[in-house]
Amino acid sequence: MSRYVERAENVARFVDVNHHLLLDLPSVGGEQWQPLVLTTGDRALFMERYGGFTRDNVIRFLAFDAGNPNSILSCLYAARENARSIRETISSEMWEQVNQFYFSVNTMAAQAGSMEAPYQFFSEVKRASHLFDGIAMTTLSHGEAWYFYLLGRLLERADKTSRILDVKYFLLLPSAADVGSSFDDIQWAAVLRSTSGFEMYRKRHAELSPDRIVDFLLLERQFPRSVQYCVVNADESLHAITGTPLGAFQNPAERKLGQVRAELGYAQIGEIIANGLHEFLDRLQRDLNLAGDSIALTFFATEGSPQGAGEGSAAA
């Protein structure tokens, strides 16, 4: 449930930052929309349903397409259905918020057509997700269910932060000649804003530096949307569920997530970039998905049941 809500929020962040990027750099044109679909891994499905990577097509596919399992609408439908199945576990306020969240987006989907002003919609999605998270924090007992809630949300957030970085570093930059240019600075500022990290980054660093921004979003230990912060806290949530001491493992989920945490803990940004940031991020995303699948198999799978749902497991 929490993973689907987080995924909906991050898709909104993904599309919203691209929309603002085009407002700042209108000359780049429609080629800026294709990377959003490519980085989600849904290119084949998109081409089957739409064909052209236009602004309206990509927004509809990522926001409202019920045939896309990773669209905002599909994620909220899945979150609502999962919430319905555990209503005796969650608070009534959580159920009311996820229910209202879904119907609000569903109404917008029916009215969408050509979305002339998407900023308001994506801002509402982000606010509704924050409200759901705040309600969960203040109304759900901080026991086993709470730690599963955190585990799902943090794994999804780590994955999506890595994908936002990947879009910028590997796909969005038109040519090496743009590195260090005002074009480059605008894109890096957009990446920070897409993770709500612009102000926190500027408190730490005076200038927009690609290496420092990548380091901040990957390895910063105190920023709550950095990959390392999410993985460390997801690992601690997993051990809180099992009771296994930190640094040890008793099942495949603890082992896999511990491996990801260890790799990030000893990583250095210079080595990551020298060896290929895209390759590092691609491997990180695979490892996070494997960790999610291991969690699904360890805690939720029954004999003969499918392994998971989409990126990692939706069960958490």
If asked whether residues 120 and 176 sit together in one domain, one would say no
Domain identity same for 135 and 262: no
* Matching residue, tokens 């499905």: 45
Query: Do 27 and 136 fall into the same domain?
Result: yes
Domain tally, the chain: 2
Angle value at C-alpha 204, between 201 and 207, nearest 5 degrees: 70
Range of the domain at 224: 141-316
| In a shared domain, residues 126 and 152 | no
Q: Which CB contacts under 8 angstroms, 24+ apart, belong to 296-305?
A: 297/252, 297/253, 298/251, 298/252, 298/253, 299/148, 299/241, 299/253
CA 150, distance to chain mean position in Å, is 14
pLDDT range class, residue 308, cuts 50, 70, 90: very low
Q: In this structure, are 151 and 131 located in the same domain?
A: no
Residue 112 has pLDDT above 50, yes or no: yes
Q: Are residues 31 and 162 in the same domain?
A: no
Average pLDDT over every residue of 141-163: 96
Q: What is the pLDDT of residue 113?
A: 55
Domain boundary among 111, 140, 169: 140
Q: How many residues does the chain have?
A: 316
pLDDT in tens, 261-290: 999 999 999 999 899 888 999 999 999 999
Of 115, 140, 165, the last residue of a domain is 140
- Rounded to an integer, what distance in angstroms lies between the CA atom of residue 148 and that of residue 300? 11
- CA dihedral angle for residue 146, residue 288, residue 157, residue 278, rounded to 10 degrees: 170
Please give the structure tokens belonging to residue 139.
Answer: 């109304």
Tokens of 231: 């993985």
Dig out the tokens for 56 from the structure.
């309206």
The pLDDT value given to residue 114: 52
Percentage of residues of the chain with pLDDT beyond 70: 85
Q: What is the pLDDT of residue 56?
A: 85
Give yes or no for residue 61 having a pLDDT over 50.
Answer: yes
pLDDT, tens digit (0-9, with 9 covering 90-100), for 218-241: 999 999 999 999 999 999 999 999
pTM here is 0.88
Q: Are residues 169 and 297 in the same domain?
A: yes
Q: How confident is the model at residue 182 (pLDDT cuts 50, 70, 90)?
A: low
How many CB atoms sit inside 10 A of residue 202's CB?
A: 13
**Which H or E run contains 79?**
helix 72-85
Note the pLDDT of residue 278.
87
Say what the pLDDT of residue 36 is.
82
Q: What is the pLDDT of residue 2?
A: 96
Q: How is residue 113 written in tokens? A: 């057509």
Q: Where are the beta strands (DSSP E) in 43-147?
A: none
Chosen domain end from 140, 160, 184: 140
- Name, in order, each residue with C-beta under 8 angstroms of 60's C-beta and a sequence gap of 6 or more: 50, 112, 115
How high is the pLDDT of residue 171? 54
Quick one: average pLDDT of 25-40?
Answer: 68
User: Residues 104, 216: one domain?
Assistant: no
